[in-house]
C-alpha cells in the first residue's frame, strides 16, 4: 500500500475506532454520573473509571486495527503497552483537570453541563492521543542506512534507465 493510501487508511481507522471509544466513554461517564443507576459518582472518579475501561479497549484497537503494529516479541508488546498507558495517563490527567475546572470552579456540575465538560475534555484528549500514539507508542521502526542505500540504488536504476539513441 502506498504511503498516501496508508495515511488515509490509518486516519479513517482512527476515526472509526476512536468514535467507538468516544461513545463508550461518554456512555460510561453518563452511567456513572447522571443516570438513574445507583452510581452517582463524582465526575473525576467516573471519568477515571471509564478511562481504565476505554484504555484497554483502545490499546487493542489501535495496535491491531489502526496502526497495525507488528511488535514481534513479548518485550516489544510490553513496551507498546507501557508507553500507551503512560501516554494515556498524561491525557487522563489533562482531561480530569478540564472536567474538575469546569464542574468545580466554573459550576458545570449538573446534567448536560457535566456532559458538556466531558465533551470539551474529550476533544482535547482525542487530538493529544492521536499525536502521542503516532509519534511515540506505535511509531514505525526507522530503516537503517544500508536499507536506504539499497532502496535508493534500486529506485535510481529502475527510474533512470539510459538508452542509446542511434
Grid coordinates standing for 113? 453541563
Rounded Cα gap, residues 113 and 117, in angstroms = 6
Give Cβ neighbours of residue 25 (< 8 Å, ≥ 6 apart). Answer: 50, 51, 54, 118, 122
Which of 123 and 165 is assigned the larger pLDDT? 123
Using CB atoms within 10 A of its CB, is residue 164 exposed (0-12), middle (13-18) or buried (19+)? exposed
Q: Could you tell me the pTM of the whole model?
A: 0.71
The model's confidence at residue 1, banded by pLDDT at 50, 70 and 90, is low
pLDDT tens by residue, 11-52:
999 999 999 999 999 999 999 988 777 888 988 899 999 999
What number is the average pLDDT over the span 118-131?
92
Residue 96 and residue 48 in contact, taking contact as beta carbons nearer than 8 Å: yes
Phi, psi of 86 (to 5 degrees): -65, -40
Domain range list for the chain: 3-159
Amino acid at each position: 500500500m502506498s504511503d498516501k493510501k496508508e495515511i488515509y487508511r490509518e486516519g479513517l481507522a482512527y476515526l472509526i475506532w476512536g468514535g467507538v471509544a468516544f461513545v463508550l466513554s461518554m456512555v460510561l461517564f453518563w452511567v456513572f454520573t447522571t443516570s438513574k443507576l445507583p452510581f452517582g459518582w463524582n465526575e473525576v472518579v467516573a471519568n477515571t473509571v471509564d478511562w481504565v475501561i476505554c484504555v484497554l479497549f483502545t490499546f487493542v484497537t489501535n495496535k491491531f486495527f489502526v496502526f497495525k503494529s507488528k511488535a514481534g516479541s513479548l518485550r516489544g508488546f510490553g513496551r507498546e503497552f507501557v508507553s500507551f498507558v503512560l501516554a494515556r495517563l498524561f491525557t487522563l490527567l489533562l482531561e480530569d483537570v478540564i472536567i474538575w475546572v469546569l464542574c468545580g470552579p466554573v459550576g458545570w456540575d449538573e446534567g448536560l453541563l457535566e456532559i458538556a465538560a466531558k465533551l470539551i475534555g474529550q476533544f482535547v484528549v482525542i487530538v493529544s492521543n492521536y499525536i502521542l500514539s503516532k509519534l511515540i507508542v506505535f511509531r514505525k521502526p526507522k530503516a537503517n542506512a544500508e536499507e536506504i542505500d539499497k532502496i535508493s540504488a534500486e529506485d535510481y536504476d529502475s527510474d533512470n534507465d539510459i538508452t542509446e539513441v542511434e
